Amino acid sequence: MNIFVPNQECSQISLLWGNCEPAKPWQMLYLYTVLYVTGFGAAGIRPCVSSFGADQFDERSRDYKTHLDRFFNFFYLSVTIGAIVAFTAVVYIQMEHGWGSAFGSLAIAMGMSNMVFFLGTPLYRHRLPGGSPLTRVAQVLVAAFRKRNASFDCSEFIGLYEVPGKRSAIKGSGKIAHTNDFRFLDKAALQLKEDGADPSPWRLCTVTQVEEVKILWKLIPIPTCTIMLSLVLTEYLTLSVQQAYTLNTYMGNLKLPVTCMPVFPGLSIFLLLSLYYSIFVPLSRRITGHPHGASQLQRVGIGLAISILSVAWAGVFERYRRNYAIEHGYEASFLTSMPDLSAYWLLIQYVLIGLAEVFCIVGLLEFLYEEAPDAMRSIGSAYSAVAGGLGCFGATLLNSIIKSVTGNEKERQPWLSQNINTGRFDYFYWLLTVLSVINFCAFLYSARRYRYRAKQEIEMENK
C-alpha cells in the first residue's frame, strides 16, 4: 500500500518528478544489496542477542526465574526505546538535514553499540558451542528416513542409542529423557546390529538429539499463533498513518508529523514495562496464584486477546471517521485534515496494540528460551523473529488478495482504496478482528495441549 503525503507536498513532488533522472542499474543494485545486507544483519542479531543475554544468568541461582523474567522485559524495553528514537529523533534529522544525515546518524549509533559490546567481551558468560543445530536436526530427519522400514520388534533391534554416563554427546546440553511423542522420529535412535560400534550420525542419533528435534517440533504452534499479531502491527504502520493524514494532529500549538504517530505504541510499551512489577505482577498474582503474576503462555494469550480489542476498536473508529468525512464534505479530499476530528483518537488502538506487544512478545521470548533445548536457545528465539517476518509477508499477501477481491479503482472502489474516505478500511479492520479471534482460538487449543518441559520431566520421574 502507498503512504500518502499532504497536498502541498504532492504538488512539490509532482514538480520535481519531471526533473528526476531514473536510477541507473548499478544504483538499484547497490540499494538492494545494502537492504539485503541490513536484513541479514538484523536476522543474525535478533534471535541471538536475547538468548545470549539470558545466558548470562546462572540456572542454579535461587532467583534465576525472576532474573530471567526481568531481563526479557528490560530487553524489550530497550528495543522499544530504540523504536521511539527512530520515530522521533531520526525522523527530525531526516526532515531537517536529509536522508544522508539520518542514515549517517544510525551508522554512528550502530558503531558505538558494537564498540560497547566488544569492550564487554571479557565479562560475558559463554556457553560451550554445541555445533550447528540445523545439522543435528538434519541428521535426525535423515536417520529416521533411512530406517523408516525398520521395526522396534525385529531381531536386529538392540535398543534406543544413547552415550553412556551422565554427560550428553552434545556440548553445552544435558541429556534429555526419552518421550513417546512423535514416535516416527525415534527410528533415528533405533540401534541395530548392522550399525556397528562407530555409526555415522547420519544413520544413528542419540536419544537426546532426537528429543531436541521433538521439542523444536512441539514449540512451533505457539509462535505460529503470534504471526497474526505481527500482521496487525504491520497493517497499523500503513493504515493508521493514512488515517492520521485526514485528522487533526495538533497538540496545542505544536503540529506533530504524521510519520511520528507510530511512536505512541512504543510510549505505551515504555509506560507499561515501567509499571509492570509495581502494578501488574502483584495484581495478577492475586488472580492466578502464579509467582510471576502469569505464566509465559498466559501472557502470550493476554497479548493476543488485547490485540483483538485493538483492531476491533480500529474498525469502530474508522467507520466513525469515514462517515464524518462524508457528512462534512471531505469525501474527495482524502489528503486534507479535518480540523474538528483529532488524530489522538487513534491513541486508543495504538496503546492497546502496545500492551498486546508487551504481553505477547516478551512472554513468547521467555517461553521459547526456557523451553528450547539447552544447545538450541537461539533457534527458539529465532522462531519469534520468523513469526514476525511471516506477519509482514502475510500483511502484503492479504492486502493483495483484498484489493483483487473487493474491486479496483476503475470499476468499483476496493476496501483499500487510495481514497481512504471512499474505501472501506473499517471492513478490513473487522476482517482482521475475525481472523484474530480465530487465531486466538487456535492458540488456546495449542496452549492447553502443551506441556512445559519442567512439568513433563517431573511426571516422568514419578512414573
Look at residue 15 and tell me whether its pLDDT is greater than 50.
no
Evaluate if residue 181 carries a pLDDT over 70: yes
Which of 100-114, 202-216, 397-411, 438-452 has the least mean pLDDT? 397-411
pLDDT at 129 over 80: no
At 242, list the grid cell. Answer: 493514512
Q: Which of 213, 247, 222, 379 is nearest to 297 (CA)?
A: 222
Q: What percent of the chain has pLDDT over 90?
A: 22
Per-residue confidence band for 9, with pLDDT thresholds at 50, 70 and 90? very low
Contact 313, 223 (CB under 8 A): no
* CA distances, 97 to each of 103, 104, 263 (Å): 11, 11, 21
Domains of the chain: 27-121+220-451 (1.20.1250.20), 133-210 (no CATH)
The span from the CA of 307 to the CA of 352, in Å, is 7
What is the reported pLDDT for 288? 66
Range with the poorest average pLDDT among 24-38, 256-270, 291-305, 364-378: 256-270
Contact 72, 300 (CB under 8 A): no
- Gap between the Cα atoms of 24 and 128, Å rounded: 48
pLDDT of residue 409: 56
CA distance readout (Å), 99 to 91, 95, 105, 229:
9, 8, 10, 30
- Separation CA 149–CA 152 (nearest Å): 10
pLDDT higher than threshold 80 for residue 221: yes
143-174 tens-digit pLDDT? 999 988 887 777 567 788 888 877 777 776 77
The average pLDDT across 221-234 equals 93
In this predicted model, what pLDDT tens digit does every residue of 329-353 receive, in sequence order? 888 777 778 888 888 888 888 889 9
Q: Strand 190-192 to strand 247-248: parallel, antiparallel, or no bridges (unpaired)? A: unpaired
The average pLDDT across 190-215 equals 86
**Segment among 2-11, 141-150, 242-251 with least mean pLDDT:** 2-11
Q: How confident is the model at residue 377 (pLDDT cuts 50, 70, 90)?
A: confident
Give the per-residue pLDDT at 3: 37
State the pLDDT at residue 337: 80
Residue corresponding to grid cell 521433538: 214
Dist CA 359 CA 354 (whole Å): 9
Summarize the confidence of residues 175-190 as an average pLDDT: 87
Q: What is the DSSP string of 12-23?
A: HHHHHHTTPPPP
The more confident residue out of 292 and 195 is 195
Q: Cα dist. 315→44, 253, 347, 435 in Å?
A: 36, 29, 14, 13
Instruction: State the average pLDDT for the chain.
Output: 82
- Which burial class, exposed, middle or buried, applies to 418 when counting CB atoms under 10 A from its CB (0-12, 13-18, 19+)? middle
At residue 408, φ and ψ (nearest 5 deg) are -135, 170
Looking at the predicted structure, is the pLDDT value of residue 118 above 70? Answer: yes
The tens digit of pLDDT for each residue in 388-405 reads 889 988 998 999 899 888
**Predicted local confidence at residue 10, as pLDDT:** 42
C-alpha of 15 from chain center? 40
Q: How many Å apart are CA 79 and CA 344, to the nearest integer?
A: 24
Cα dihedral 427, 314, 91, 20 in deg (nearest 10) = 10
Round to whole Å and give the CA distance between 382 and 407: 38
More confident: 378 or 15? 378
Element containing residue 321 per DSSP (H, E): helix 296-327
The SS3 of residue 341 is strand
Q: Select the more confidently predicted residue: 105 or 454.
A: 105
Residue 264 — pLDDT band, cuts 50, 70, 90? confident
Answer yes or no: are the C-beta atoms of 402 and 287 closer than 8 Å.
no
Residues 206 and 149: beta-carbon distance below 8 Å: no
Measure the CA–CA gap between 288 and 43, rounded to whole angstroms. Answer: 36
Most confident of 232-236, 260-264, 426-430: 426-430
Judge whether 284 and 91 are in contact, CB under 8 Å. Answer: no
pLDDT value at residue 172: 66
> Would the pLDDT of 448 be above 50?
yes
C-alpha cell read off for 165:
554416563
Nearest alpha-carbon partner for 302 in 350, 358, 224: 358
Distance (Å, rounded) from C-alpha 233 to C-alpha 246? Answer: 20
What is the rounded average pLDDT of the residues 232-237?
Answer: 88
**Cβ(385)–Cβ(43) under 8 Å?**
yes
